[in-house]
Amino acid sequence: AQSVTQLDSHVSVSEGTPVLLRCNYSSSYSPSLFWYVQHPNKGLQLLLKYTSAATLVKGINGFEAEFKKSETSFHLTKPSAHMSDAAEYFCVVSDISGSARQLTFGSGTQLTVLP
């Protein structure tokens, strides 16, 4: 069975400083990994995904994530935070379970960006 652990429930950074949101996963097969973002009272938007091509994945809005199989990690980074990045971020693993590939979500990391 797959699982996802987001190591920080809250992260606070100052505008213009780097962002690091940490994620570890476990999976029986070769997983696909995703980061989704949810702004307040909104649905989920896909930031980026890893599907066994390049280990460094670039997403929207300047975010990127590196897949490290040896560490079973998929941390999300951004060089310089913007106020509009304040949101909740979910690390997600996709694996085969039952009759379809299913997603397992981490519990989320709330990112606060301070002026």
Partner 1 sequence: NAGVTQTPKFQVLKTGQSMTLQCAQDMNHNSMYWYRQDPGMGLRLIYYSASEGTTDKGEVPNGYNVSRLNKREFSLRLESAAPSQTSVYFCASKGLTSDTQYFGPGTRLTVL
Considering only residues 13, 21, 25, 34, which one is a binding residue for partner 1 as defined by CB under 8 A? 34
Backbone CA torsion sign across 87, 93, 60, 23 = positive
Stretch that binds partner 1, among 11-19, 22-30, 44-52, 72-80 (CB under 8 A): 44-52
Part of the chain binding partner 1 (CB under 8 A), chosen from 29-37, 61-69, 70-78, 79-87: 29-37
108 in helix, strand or coil?
coil
Distance, CA of 35 to CA of 90 (rounded, Å):
6
Query: What pairing do the DSSP bridges indicate for beta strands 32-38 and 87-97?
Result: antiparallel
Q: For the chain, report the end-to-end CA distance as a whole number of angstroms.
A: 41
Residue 9 interacting with partner 1 (CB under 8 A): yes
46 lies in the site for partner 1, by CB under 8 A: yes
Number of residues that bind partner 1 (CB under 8 A): 24
Binders of partner 1 among residues 79 to 98 (CB under 8 A) are 90, 94, 98
Q: Which residue has the tokens 């973002």?
A: 37
As measured in angstroms, the least distance from the Cβ of 48 to partner 1 is 10
